[in-house]
Structure 1
Amino acid sequence: MDLVQWFSAPLQSEFMVRAICVSALVGMVCSALSCYMTLKGWALMGDAVSHAVMPGVVIAYMLNLPLAVGAFVFGVGSVITIGFIKVKTRVKEDTVIGLVFTGFFALGLVLVSKVRSSIDLTHILFGNVLGISDADIVQTVIISVITLATLALLRKDLILFCFDPTHARSIGLNTTFLYYVLLSLLSLTAVAGLQTVGIILVVAMLVTPGATAYLLSDRFDYMVLIAMASGVFSSVIGTYISYYIDGATGGCIVVLQTLLFVIAMVFAPKHGLLAKTQTVTESAPNQ
């Protein structure tokens, strides 16, 4: 099979065209947000929010509401709960995050086990982009537009907030507002990622592209472009690979993103392992 046929064959199926387009869109949005998550050091917070939305998704389904509504409420609610426990107790933040997100996630599992309906636990956990409905596509597009537009409008404020919140506060920025804006976008994006890779793997889409780009560039604008390129590439090619090997689409996307990170970790021109080894070798004779 030649390369042209390899790319064109899946496009003969409408469900594959839809899956590829949605995966690319979600990959781009998650990658853009992942740069802010990486700069802020919120990998664990992304994990917490992505898992905490599960009971919200199930409750929204039970009440016949858009899944995004339930996910948003529980995503933001989990963060408020984390903040409350951190302030009121002596427990450290990382421990509180672990307690809250596992508690919310467990609640979601209980709700799924009690709701006898068309909800498929496998689809909630691992995504189902190959069977995505028209309503879910519309929801994903709306979430994507809101997220990208907000990141563009508040770009400078969010960069400063993520890089140096103390300085941002000193020059008059409302850091509390920016904090909840970022968390709201995180909750919404988790819903979009749920459609492609599911709750369990969405944290990878919110962390890995930004981490990869962070190794390849010291400028934030370039970092965002590199992250979005890697996110779209891994989402599209991962969907193709899942088609040919008949594997889990979300798993293929995340594995490919992880491989891109490993390549960057080794071969990044300035921050890669090989570059650092070469620098050490060159400096050794001078010592």
Structure 2
Amino acid sequence: MLSSGIMQRALIEAIVLGLACGPLGVWILLLRRSYAAESLSHAMLPGLVIAALAGIPLVFGAAAGVLVAAILIAAVRGDVGVAVVVSGLFGLGGILALSPETPPRLGELLFGDLLGVTNGDLLVAAALSISVLIALAVAYRSLALAGFEGRGGRADLALLAILAVTTVAAVQGLGNLLLVALILAPAAAALNLAQRLPHVLALAAVLAVVAGVVGLVVSYQLEIAAGASIALCAIALSSLGVLKPKLGMP
């Protein structure tokens, strides 16, 4: 399996994304912004399609799409406004994706193409993931205060910006529909399995990496889509937190 350069790059990409997505998911859940995470990933579809139409790397379209979506989501108030913005952008992306001029890459846009990751894609994902981890470390205190005291403000904006960067980093490998699973599912399990916040953050990163690696191996053995396999493995790991009380785990 690892004798192939394609699988080597895919494995490194899965590990890199897991290290960034797991800890980020913890903060998203603590600050109750899971709906924003789902919305932001879906709303960038128009940017992805335009990038495909223009023949440029998807990461540039993802960045533009996420920027527009983040501005609109930050501008509206309440879940209803966010839902309207997301539905509108996703609908626009669907129209563009199904137009005759669009290259047949809809599956890649929605579900990612982890096995198609190039060295350039890997470097971009690694750089963005490192930036995310640095940003989370710098914002640790303000995010912790916002999470435990229920205050938002600048912490919300910082988290939204970090989420946007993570979304751009993960879109090539996981697509805009599945990446939320790798962000939220390991974090949900970690919050149930660990007590202290540093332990939760570390465990979330480990679980996200495990989901990425196991999902990639399963996809290779069963010859199924890597992104979907990783998402299912992440969700399966999240069941650990649900089963903990029933199994009598400490």
Give TM-score, length-normalised by structure 2: 0.91
How many residue pairs were aligned?
249
Asked whether the 8 Å contact 2:49–2:102 carries over to 1, the reply is no
Give the share of equivalent positions with the same residue, in percent: 29
Counterpart CA distance in 2 for 1:127 and 1:241 is 16
Equivalent of 2:157 in 174, 180, 185: 180
Cα distance, 1:193 vs structure 2 = 2.1
- Tell me, what secondary structure is at the counterpart of 1:114? coil
Amino acid at match of 2:117: I
Cα distance, 1:135 vs structure 2 = 2.3
Task: Determine whether 1:26 maps to 2:17.
Answer: yes
Amino acid at match of 2:164: S
**Structure 1, unaligned stretches of length 5 or more?**
1-9, 87-92, 169-174, 277-287
Task: Determine whether 1:156 maps to 2:141.
Answer: yes
1:43 alignment counterpart:
34
Asked whether the 8 Å contact 1:49–1:75 carries over to 2, the reply is yes
2:185 alignment counterpart:
208
1:284 alignment counterpart:
none
2:86 alignment counterpart:
101
1:261 alignment counterpart:
238
Asked whether the 8 Å contact 2:52–2:102 carries over to 1, the reply is no
Counterpart CA distance in 1 for 2:224 and 2:51 is 29
Cα distance, 1:165 vs structure 2 = 4.6
The worse-fitting range, judged by mean Cα deviation, of 31-40 and 58-67 is 58-67
Counterpart CA distance in 1 for 2:22 and 2:200 is 10
- Tell me, what secondary structure is at the counterpart of 2:195? coil
Distance 1:162 1:63, change over 3 A: farther
Task: Determine whether 1:240 maps to 2:217.
Answer: yes
Question: C-alpha deviations, 1:215-272, integer Å up to 9, x for none?
Answer: 01121100011100100011011101100100111111111111111122112xxxx2
Question: C-alpha deviations, 1:137-196, integer Å up to 9, x for none?
Answer: 122112111111111122112221233254x8xxxxxx33x3222111111211222222
Asked whether the 8 Å contact 1:55–1:74 carries over to 2, the reply is yes
Equivalent of 2:112 in 127, 136, 140: 127
Asked whether the 8 Å contact 1:20–1:236 carries over to 2, the reply is yes
Distance 1:128 1:67, change over 3 A: closer
Distance 1:263 1:165, change over 3 A: closer
- Tell me, what secondary structure is at the counterpart of 1:197? helix
Asked whether the 8 Å contact 2:59–2:168 carries over to 1, the reply is yes
Larger Rg: 1
Question: C-alpha deviations, 1:95-126, integer Å up to 9, x for none?
Answer: 22222212211111222223635460100111
| RMSD between aligned residues | 2.1
Task: Determine whether 1:54 maps to 2:45.
Answer: yes
What does 1:109-148 align with in structure 2 at a 5 Å threshold? 109-114=94-99, 116=101, 118=103, 120-148=105-133
Q: Runs of at least 4 residues of structure 1 off by over 3 A?
A: 60-70, 82-85, 273-276
Asked whether the 8 Å contact 1:239–1:252 carries over to 2, the reply is yes
Counterpart CA distance in 2 for 1:228 and 1:128 is 22
The worse-fitting range, judged by mean Cα deviation, of 239-248 and 198-207 is 198-207
- Tell me, what secondary structure is at the counterpart of 1:33? helix
Asked whether the 8 Å contact 2:31–2:150 carries over to 1, the reply is no
Amino acid at match of 2:5: E
Give TM-score, length-normalised by structure 1: 0.80
